[in-house]
Amino acid sequence: MKRGFMLILFLFQTTVSTADESVREEIRALQARLAELERQAGKPRASGGNEFNPRITAFGDFTGRIDNGPVRNENNEEISDRFNMREVELDLRADVDPYAKGVLITALSQERPLQPASVAIEEGYVLFTALSRGVSAKAGKFKNAFGILNQLHLHDLPQSTLPLPIQTFLGEDGMAEMGLSVHYIMPQKNPDHVLSLTGEVFNGENATQFGGVSSRDPAYLGRAKYYMELDPESFMELGTSYMNGKRVTDNVHHRNEVLGGDFMYKWRAHQPKGLWSTVVQGEFFYMSREEPALAIYRRNASGAYGLLQIQPYQRWFAGVRYDRAQVLNNKTLVDRKIGGYVSFYTTEFLRLRLGYEYQNSAGPEIGGTPGPDQSTIYGQITFVFGAHPAEPYWFSK
């Protein structure tokens, strides 16, 4: 009897010991797996997964125009009364690693059909997202954060052309520079109100305001934007931008400053399904520069535009815009433009647009004889395919 009891006790202890050892083995395996996961999370992963493959999107912008007179581009080539594939844009984006994303946007344009297409890198930068809370940064070539429309690409514009003030103060195609940019979203107690700050330092190669491609002086830009949600159907954004750099004339470096202000109000009907909307938007520019002693040039200049757009039906948008900009190289002249447009989206990937613009080019600023007039009718087809999310309202998303 005693021997039987001892045998049972031995078998029980052996079973418990074996079970305990099995549990310990499972715990050790789980601990090893956890350590491996922590090790992998603590270092950048190799680019082998599908999430690191570039997302490629193509945008096409085909336009036709009818003009009341000859129109020439900056190279003195006539571009009036013709069709052209104004721009084809390839947009590549990918996750470089867990800490950064890469963006490369290349544009091909051809204003005159019989000439070779020009190729340009519109943007190419690395975006660092794993910084402090609310902070992101990018390095490379990017569209500068001055105002609203300068940050949009050609196919995203609400009209066929950039407003006159942007062309006058930032360049014919807007402003994109090589440099560094840091963006910070300040923490707010109320999520309906957001304040964001942007600081940039770049080469200062913009030929309109700074030293051009031979510039050796960096330029600086600061921007603040305040977003407020007014109610479930509407919001408003208020922004201000400041840019500072130098121009070079006869080997003399002159200080150049540009100040901007902007606002946007958007209302979108909550029902039915947000099919109606209204946008009111405007930007103001003011420039102050140290100028050589030439009487015809401006030392101070200003410009502004105002935009109204309505969405009366799900796929239809209509709007008007008024521009005004003082001519930089002749202090007695000012440009004015007014235009309207109607856009129709067959789907979120194809937009048809008809627009009209009337411009009083270099007319007198105060009194005098009106300057030459230019009237243009635009027809535009914009399409997108590839890795692009559905977006029925490309402008002011």
Report the pLDDT averaged over residues 120-147.
93
Structural domain includes residue 76: yes
Report the pLDDT averaged over residues 99-114.
84
Report the pLDDT averaged over residues 285-314.
86
Low-confidence winner among 114-118, 158-162, 338-342 (lowest mean pLDDT): 114-118
CATH (domain of 82): 2.40.160.10
Structural domain includes residue 343: yes
Nearest Cα neighbor of 225 from 215, 205, 239 is 239
Report the pLDDT averaged over residues 183-193.
88
Query: Is 13 a residue whose pLDDT tops 60?
Result: no
Query: Is 14 a residue whose pLDDT tops 60?
Result: no
**Domain range for residue 376?**
50-386
DSSP 115-138: SPPEEEEEEEEEEE-SSSTTEEEE
Report the pLDDT averaged over residues 374-386.
93
Query: Is 298 a residue whose pLDDT tops 90?
Result: no
The CA distance from 34 to 56, in Å, is 36
Query: Is 49 a residue whose pLDDT tops 50?
Result: no
Residue 111 pLDDT grade (very low, low, confident, very high; cuts 50, 70, 90): low
Query: Is 90 a residue whose pLDDT tops 90?
Result: yes
Residue 366 pLDDT grade (very low, low, confident, very high; cuts 50, 70, 90): low
Q: What is the pTM of this model?
A: 0.81
Neighbours of 165 (CB within 10 A): 25
Structure confidence at residue 350 (pLDDT): 93
Structural domain includes residue 6: no
Amino acid at 59: F
Q: Determine contact, residues 334/304, Cβ cutoff 8 Å.
A: no
The CA distance from 287 to 188, in Å, is 33
Structural domain includes residue 394: no
Q: How far is CA 131 from CA 137, 138, 170, 187, in A?
A: 8, 11, 31, 15
Q: Determine contact, residues 383/358, Cβ cutoff 8 Å.
A: no
Our count of domains for the chain comes to 1
Position with higher pLDDT, 156 vs 1: 156
Query: Is 27 a residue whose pLDDT tops 80?
Result: no
Residue 47 pLDDT grade (very low, low, confident, very high; cuts 50, 70, 90): very low
Structural domain includes residue 80: yes
Query: Is 371 a residue whose pLDDT tops 70?
Result: no
Residue 384 pLDDT grade (very low, low, confident, very high; cuts 50, 70, 90): very high
102-116, 173-187, 353-367: range with highest mean pLDDT = 173-187
Nearest Cα neighbor of 241 from 219, 264, 260 is 260
Structural domain includes residue 31: no
Q: Which two tokens stand for residue 288?
A: 């102050």
The three-class DSSP label of residue 12 is helix
Radius of gyration (Cα) for the chain, nearest Å?
29
